Amino acid sequence: MTYLKKLFPLLFLFHLVSCGEQVKTALQKPNIIYIMSDDHTTQGFGIYGSRLAGLNPTPNLDKLAKEGMIFDNAFVNNAICVPSRAAIITGQRAQTNGVLDLEGTIAPEKQYFPKEMKKLGYQTAIVGKWHLHHEPAAFDYYQVLPGQGKYYDPEFRVQGEKLWPKNVVQTKGHSSDMIMDATLDYLKNKRDKDQPFFLMHHFKAPHDDFEYAPRYENYLADTFIPEPESLYEIGNHGSVAVRGKNDSLTRIIGSSVSHRNVIRNQAMNIYWNDSTIYKQYRNAKDIGQEELVKWEMDAAEKEYTSKVYQDYLKKYLRCVKGVDDNIKRLLDYLETEGLLENTIIVYTGDQGFMLGEHDYIDKRWMYDESMRMPFFVRYPEKIKAGSRTDAIINNTDFAPTIIELAGGTTPEYMQGKSFKSILETGTEPEDWQKATYYRYWMHLAHRHQNPAHFGIRTKDYKLIFYYGKYWVNTDDPNVVWNKESWGNDFSNHTPPAWEFYDLNKDPKEMNNTYNKPENRAIIDDLKKQLFTMREDLNETDANYPHIQKVIDEYWDK
């Protein structure tokens, strides 16, 4: 009995130490901030070495990236806002989560990412752009924009006494500042400081129409923005699917910087039919004069395209500047509060964006400027500063990775794969995915006029198939239809075609060499991989027989 009396205090002390260690471990669990900007493409950074890198557009983001791991081959599954965000929040592909276009929705029961984080003991929050239409009710806290939201004086939907979406907070200022204000308010005043947090912070910027804060009016005002050569020279880029026979579709396919696309372009305010030089050309009487005036027209068009491009890029980069400056506000707060070292910080965009390459604006394309996402992660405890990888990841992989970094395991229902080991070791496993699959569904939608297509991208090659068909009403496969909300009145299908790019020889995708005999073995292998991926990912066209018919007809052509 005397022995037990002496032993009891030791056992009690051991119990206290054990409980203390458990509490300490819980408190030390890393906080996680997932930051995503809208349309912030890799060309708009210093770290990705684009033609714009010399402008130093993102000093704060570059510093953050260099303190962790930078991904050079992060790709979106569908370069359009809602499907990308759905893939991230579910860890699933389009036909599994049900979101194929901008009208897709994710109901609270399918908001898997925050649900899984709550299971791991995290308080969850989302601030900024949501765009998945249903209430983000799976989060413990939210303050989100309605739909796309406004650049100036945005209102936010919040929790409250009324049913979603009737609880509204009105703010006054630029959206990038207001969204960061909301995030800092959450971190300072709204969270439980004894519990780790998972926060999704989503900027609206730099989404088109690039309405920047007034303080950036003079930023880059006197700077010439480097222009892509492909803005003026198309080369052998594209195919009959995007250019038409004898370039007959170039006036309507792919929204442009120049006047090339007559349906949607950045130069819509100028109408050449009313210009003096156009009238001179129209009234030319002899071939010599006609050719001279045509040359003058071409020179004038190039000069005007350059002016439009300079305006376009300066507005874009001013929005990016607002994002970058607000990132510093966040980092300063985290450092002041002693949270920086124990917080995993992820930064990405919801897709890429065309900044004049091939004379394209917007996204949607499977070309790299549109398909590639910026992506980097900082976490000093586990991720080596200054590390970089060319491992292929896609946006369905984000949720599984963050779940595992938080101490969980990837749910079986998620199609994405965790790349936690790549972050922690800097090494790509031998069995890691060697390719990624892409699918754009919204055929000729929203006056951007991008044909529907799918394809495969490896580190070395890209293979794209444009099937050129609308959807159908699956209740009646013979009825072809197009969603009214897509704003498309173009009544013809576009020609099916393949495109193949050797990315080692042709990283800017200027030379479609699909028909070169020397590429046949590579292309055949890519088609086998593509077929298998579509089956494995539940991305076939079994429900769209009119599309499958085109695929079958053109697969071996």
As beta bridge partners, residue 472 has 480
Q: Average pLDDT in the 484-497 region?
A: 68
Per residue in 125-169, pLDDT tens?
Answer: 999 999 999 999 999 999 999 999 999 999 999 999 999 999 999
The two three-digit tokens of residue 366, written as one number: 């499977």
- Delineate the domains of the chain, giving CATH numbers in brackets: 27-220+317-426 (3.40.720.10), 438-554 (3.30.1120)
Question: What pTM does this model have?
Answer: 0.90
Give the pLDDT confidence of 291-350 residue by residue, as tens digits.
555 555 577 778 889 999 999 999 999 999 999 999 999 999 999 999 999 999 999 999
Name the nearest CA neighbour of 94 among 107, 109, 108, 76.
76
Question: What's residue 27's pLDDT?
Answer: 53
Give the residue ranges of DSSP H helices in 274-357: 276-282, 287-336
What are the pLDDT digits (tens) for 399-420? 999 999 999 999 999 999 999 9
Query: 220-253: per-residue pLDDT in tens?
Result: 999 999 999 999 999 999 999 999 999 999 999 9
Percent of the chain residues topping a pLDDT of 70 = 85
- One-letter identity of residue 34: Y
Cβ–Cβ < 8 Å for 464, 472: no
CB count, 10 Å around CB of 458? 18
pLDDT tens across 445-479, in order? 887 889 999 999 999 999 999 998 755 545 554 54
Per-residue pLDDT of 165-202, as tens digits, reads: 999 999 999 999 999 999 999 999 999 999 999 999 99
CA distances to 317, 385, 399 from 172, rounded to whole Å, are 22, 38, 33
Burial of 82 per CB tally in 10 Å (0-12, 13-18, 19+)? buried
pLDDT of residue 494: 87
pLDDT higher than 50, residue 23: no
Q: What is the pLDDT of residue 26?
A: 47
What's the pLDDT at 490?
Answer: 47
Report how far residue 499's alpha carbon sits from residue 514's, in angstroms, rounded to the nearest whole number: 6
Q: Cα 40 to chain center, whole Å? A: 7
Lookup result for tokens 């206290």: 16
Let me know how many helices (H) and strands (E) the chain has, helices first. 14, 18
- Phi/psi for 396 (5° steps) reads -75, -15
Burial of 180 (0-12, 13-18, 19+ CB in 10 A): buried
- Rounded Cα–Cα distance for residues 30 and 382 (Å): 11
> Does residue 57 or residue 443 have the better pLDDT?
57
Q: Do 312 and 47 touch, CB atoms closer than 8 A?
A: no
